[in-house]
Amino acid sequence: MMELGRRTRAALLLAAAVVCAERPAWARFQPVTCKNAFTVEQEQTEGAKVAAQVYKQMPVLPDSDPISRYVQGLGAKLVEQAPGYKWQYNFHIVASEDINAFALPGGSIFVNLGTIQAAETEAQLAGVMAHEISHVVMRHSTCNITKAQTPKLGFGIASVLSSIVLGDSALASVAQGALGLGANATMMKMSRDAERQADLLGAGILYDAGYDPRGLPQFFETIKAKYGEGGLSWFSDHPDPGNRTEAVNKEIATLPRRAGATVTTAEFTRIHALGMQAKVYSAKDVEAGVWRRTGLYASGPGAAAGMVPAMETVASGAPRTGSGATRLSGVMLGSCGSQVRFQGSRFSVSYPPCWKAVGGQDGSATVAPPGGSGSAGLTYGAVIGFAKQGGDGVSDAATLSAATMELAQRLSKSNGGLQQVSKLQALSLGGQMANAVELRGRSGVVEGGAQLAERDWLVAVARPDGDLNYIVFVAPEPDFEAMRPAFTAMMQSFRAE
């Protein structure tokens, strides 16, 4: 029996040795647990809701993009070494110039292109990603909610999560505003202690993935040295726990020396070059929504590139209370007094006095009611422009029809594809030949989680010199008929000059 006991103990010791050999060689810092009122399932579900909102408010590259695929592969390599619960990690790229990254509860991690541009080695980029993975591992977001939330706050969990993870950078502030976060958002930041924990655990993940763990503190120093104040987006969202470079280097010194640790790769060099050439947006451009209709960005996880709708919104503040004409105020409908005249460079038009007309440097103009334009672009109103015609120009009904349909095709191409929903209608405006045709596309207005259809009414007017003026009247399809009287009055007042 004693011999059997010795053999049993020996077998157990051998099994323990095998288990220890298979377990990642973690640094002395171990993941920290905290009081958490949320289940894993809640965290994943609500984190996914926030991720969907990020796609609506930020230019996220589609998963098929080469830079996205590279970061996904790098993330998968790091996640293999992440301790604790196996979250559904996924990695995405935001076309922002800010040097930043953020992790959502449940495992969605977003890395800005500015971060890839700033990194000098793969180990530095991997260090940033390992830091964000560490926030997910230790459930910092929901731990913070558990600590800070009271019944009086009245936040939905998705909103609170957003306020935690999106931080204070200019780009993140755009997302916070769109997600409806109030003054209480500032109380939900990552603490310095949470940042310290993510730094230390991140260095361990980096080490166990085969990278030189010094990549993480090197990244901190790189952006300080190369970008100065321009690199502070990272530090404003990831507060310095107090000489973070020194703290991480002390942690790294406890790790066994490893020969051949990866510093960088040829693939990183290739992707870094692609990243340097890629289009990035300032916070101001993101807020203006100039990226939404480029067709370059995804509308959600796994979605292909295409037009991206705005956040859940009602025409940037337009009052909507019912259906049809009852959805819009009298101001939106143009019922606000006698029309006023706008003089353009090659045309004039009348419009409701409570609307606003803005002329462009190219001779174009936009006329819209309050709330008719915003981050989603023009959702209610009209765009007026000029189209140069080659050859003999527009001289008769046939050439006008051809020119109108060419305009319609160009409009469709620039707006992600439009469907013609009416026949060409011949008109006379101010003694000039004109044609009108209606098109159907997608509006920037989102209601009930669904993007509304949009009606575009294209009116092409033959000019005396053979060129064209055009007007495009725009409104969500449910509201177009209510808007039509105001649009018709504008059209009838139009004069090519």
- Going from N- to C-terminal start, the domains of the chain cover 19-306, 315-496
**What pLDDT score does 189 carry?**
53
Cβ count near 260 (within 10 Å): 7
**What pLDDT score does 25 carry?**
44
CA 405 – CA 435 distance, rounded (Å): 10
**What pLDDT score does 205 carry?**
95
**What pLDDT score does 284 carry?**
76
Residues 163 and 181: beta-carbon distance below 8 Å: yes
**What pLDDT score does 156 carry?**
38
**What pLDDT score does 414 carry?**
67
**What pLDDT score does 228 carry?**
62
**What pLDDT score does 241 carry?**
57
Helix 157-166 and helix 170-178, axial crossing angle in degrees, nearest 10: 170
Give buried/exposed letters for 144-170 (b at 16+ CB in 10 A, else e). Answer: bbeeebeeeeebebbbbbbbbbbbebb
**What pLDDT score does 349 carry?**
95
Residues 421 and 438: beta-carbon distance below 8 Å: yes
Phi, then psi, of 457 in degrees rounded to 5: -110, 105
Phi, then psi, of 405 in degrees rounded to 5: -70, -30
Alpha helices in 334-422 (DSSP H): 397-414
Q: Give the Å distances, CA to CA, from 294 to 14, 61, 161, 416, 488.
A: 60, 12, 29, 8, 30
Considering the four listed CATH numbers 3.90.230.10, 3.40.50.620, 3.40.1000.10, 3.40.50.970, the one that applies to the domain covering 315-496 is 3.40.1000.10
**What pLDDT score does 166 carry?**
38
CA 386 – CA 404 distance, rounded (Å): 12
Beta pairing, strands 377-378 & 340-343: unpaired
Residue 204: which residues within 8 A CB-CB, separation 6 or more? 24, 26, 27, 29, 213, 251, 255
Task: Tell me the two tokens of residue 209.
Answer: 């993935």
**What pLDDT score does 335 carry?**
84
The pLDDT averaged over each successive group of 10 residues in the chain (497 residues) is: 36 33 50 82 83 86 95 96 94 92 90 94 96 91 68 36 37 36 36 84 94 93 69 56 80 90 97 94 79 85 78 42 54 84 91 88 82 73 86 88 88 76 90 92 76 89 90 90 92 92
Residue 185: which residues within 8 A CB-CB, separation 6 or more? 163, 176
